[in-house]
């Protein structure tokens, strides 16, 4: 069966259903989020849109607001308004950087999360574990990309250091983000109907890879962060792009902080939780109690100390964030009488 022209148009923005929703409103996808509103694409053109008032209500869970990757319904006005967000098939979330607890959506309706790390000073297995913990439960699958593999670094050494810290079925590719051959290598994740989000630190090579996948220099590159030159950062917002290969790619700005939201389940460390259940004492603190299965595994080399430390860190953070989230959900939203709805809630990029 061939697509109707309307379906064919929507395929460009990653619409996968064989049918169109039975709704007279305009269907589009959120491709970027700015302080002043949203940019959406309907498969033939991009245009600006404002969220309906309901999305700006104070106390509304920010995760219910439109986010990059969302399919949305808009009215037919000349200044279009986003009226509804269609159900999401996946959501990648983190807790926003900063003091105040807030879940922040990185991208929605994605099939893969491409976790890009440069094989330079950027290489950090604990950070990759943190990413994978955030990807778990998102509904998307992780693909670990080790960039700058062409720079004479010890690629095999890095992969060997990483392998024991990833699940057996984890996908890892060493890449040169500048090499056009990378397009074929990543084709399985970026074909028609697929959507992927590219995450990684500033300077990891996200924009370089995006340009290679696009086959043109659309993203400015080379802005490696220095602590006092924020203005040099080139990627200022998340942007969803249609790739020549048929899929959609979301390029994110570097995210300095990747706090857990408290909803993660730490499946990545299931083996550690199994071990801990085997300690002689149910309340074992895994210090120097007799019969501690964790200490035994550390002593035998079965469990690496770095991975154990990272587990403890992520576990503690998850517990803290879960407690904050629970307290937050219990609390009634503070609505000032006659107060204006807060226009905040836009995701703040870190760099």
Ligand X SMILES: Nc1nc2c(ncn2[C@@H]2O[C@H](COP(=O)(O)OP(=O)(O)O)[C@@H](O)[C@H]2O)c(=O)[nH]1
| Paired residues of 183 in beta bridges | none
Residues in 169-188 at the binding interface with ligand X, rule: CB under 6 A:
176-178
Pairing of strands 26-34, 112-118: unpaired
How big, in percent rounded to 5, are the helix, strand and coil portions of the chain? 30, 20, 50
Q: Where are the alpha helices (DSSP H) in 277-351?
A: 293-300, 305-330
Which of residues 67, 132, 162, 292 is near Zn ion by CB under 5 A?
Answer: 292
Q: Is 272 an interacting residue with respect to Zn ion (CB under 5 A)?
A: no
Least distance between Zn ion and beta carbon 293 (Å):
6
Q: Which residue has the tokens 């670990």?
A: 144
Which listed residue (93, 207, 211, 321) binds Mg ion by CB under 5 A? Answer: 207
Counting every residue written for the chain, the total comes to 351
Task: Check binding of 286 to Zn ion (CB under 5 A).
Answer: yes
Give the C-alpha separation, 216 to 136, whole Å.
32
Asked whether the beta carbons of 258 and 204 are under 8 A apart, the reply is no
95 binding partner (options Zn ion, ligand X, Mg ion, none; Cβ < 5 to 8 Å by kind): none
Residue 117 or 242: the one with the smaller Cβ distance to ligand X is 117
Site for Mg ion in 284-323 (CB under 5 A): none
Residue choice 69, 125, 142, 200 for contact with ligand X (CB under 6 A): 200
Is-contact 74 82, C-beta < 8 A? Answer: yes
- C-beta closer to Zn ion: residue 15 or 308: 308
* Residue 224 binding result from Zn ion, Mg ion, ligand X, none, given CB thresholds of 5 to 8 Å by partner type: ligand X
Residues within window 219-238 making contact with ligand X, judged by CB under 6 A: 221-224, 235
- Positive or negative, the CA dihedral 101, 106, 109, 112 is negative
Yes or no: say if 146 and 117 are a contact pair by the CB < 8 Å rule: yes
Return d(Cα 178, Cα 193) in angstroms, integer: 25
* Torsion angles phi and psi, residue 333, rounded to 5: -65, 135
Least Å distance, CB 179 to ligand X, is 7
> Does residue number 150 form part of the binding site for ligand X (CB under 6 A)?
yes
Residue 329: how many CB atoms within 10 A of its CB? Answer: 8
Binding string, residues 294-323; x marks residues near Zn ion by CB under 5 A: x-----------------------------
Binding site annotation covers 205?
yes
The CB-nearest residue to Mg ion is: 207
| Selected binder of ligand X within 65, 130, 206, 259 (CB under 6 A) | 206
Shorter beta-carbon distance to ligand X: residue 108 or 202: 202
Which residue among 40, 198, 284, 314 contacts Zn ion (CB under 5 A)? 284
Q: Does residue 41 touch ligand X according to CB under 6 A?
A: no
Helix, coil or strand: residue 59? coil
Is 13 in contact with 42 (CB distance < 8 Å)? yes
Annotated binding site for GTP: 200-208
Annotated binding site: 200-208, 279, 284, 286, 292
Annotated binding site for Zn(2+): 279, 284, 286, 292
């Amino acid at each position: 069966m061939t697509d109707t022209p309307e379906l064919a148009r929507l395929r460009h923005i990653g619409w996968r259903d064989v049918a169109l929703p039975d709704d007279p409103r305009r269907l589009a996808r959120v491709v970027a989020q700015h302080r002043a509103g949203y940019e959406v694409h309907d498969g033939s053109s991009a245009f600006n849109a404002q969220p309906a008032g309901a999305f700006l209500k104070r106390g509304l869970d920010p995760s219910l607001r439109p986010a990059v990757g969302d399919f949305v319904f808009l009215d037919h006005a000349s200044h279009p308004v986003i009226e509804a967000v269609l159900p999401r098939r996946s959501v990648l979330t983190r807790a926003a950087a900063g003091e105040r607890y807030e879940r922040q959506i990185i991208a929605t309706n994605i099939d893969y999360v491409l976790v890009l790390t440069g094989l330079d000073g950027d290489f950090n297995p604990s950070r990759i574990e943190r990413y994978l913990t955030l990807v778990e439960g998102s509904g998307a699958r992780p693909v670990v990309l080790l960039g700058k593999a062409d720079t004479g670094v010890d690629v095999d050494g890095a992969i060997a250091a990483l392998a024991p810290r990833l699940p057996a079925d984890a996908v890892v590719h060493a890449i040169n983000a500048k090499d056009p051959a990378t397009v074929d290598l990543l084709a399985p994740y970026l074909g028609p109907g697929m959507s992927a989000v590219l995450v990684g630190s500033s300077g990891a090579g996200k924009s370089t890879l995006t340009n290679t996948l696009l086959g043109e220099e659309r993203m400015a590159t080379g802005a490696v962060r220095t602590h006092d030159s924020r203005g040099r950062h080139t990627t200022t917002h998340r942007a969803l792009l249609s790739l020549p290969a048929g899929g959609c790619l979301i390029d994110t700005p570097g995210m300095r902080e990747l706090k857990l939201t408290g909803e993660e389940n730490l499946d990545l460390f299931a083996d550690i939780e199994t071990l801990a259940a085997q300690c002689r004492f149910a309340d074992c603190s895994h210090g120097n109690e007799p019969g501690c299965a964790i200490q035994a595994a550390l002593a035998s080399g079965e469990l690496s100390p770095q991975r154990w430390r990272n587990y403890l860190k992520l576990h503690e953070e998850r517990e803290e964030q879960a407690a904050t989230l629970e307290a937050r959900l219990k609390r009634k939203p503070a609505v000032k009488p006659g107060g204006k709805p807060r226009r905040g809630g836009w995701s703040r990029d870190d760099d």
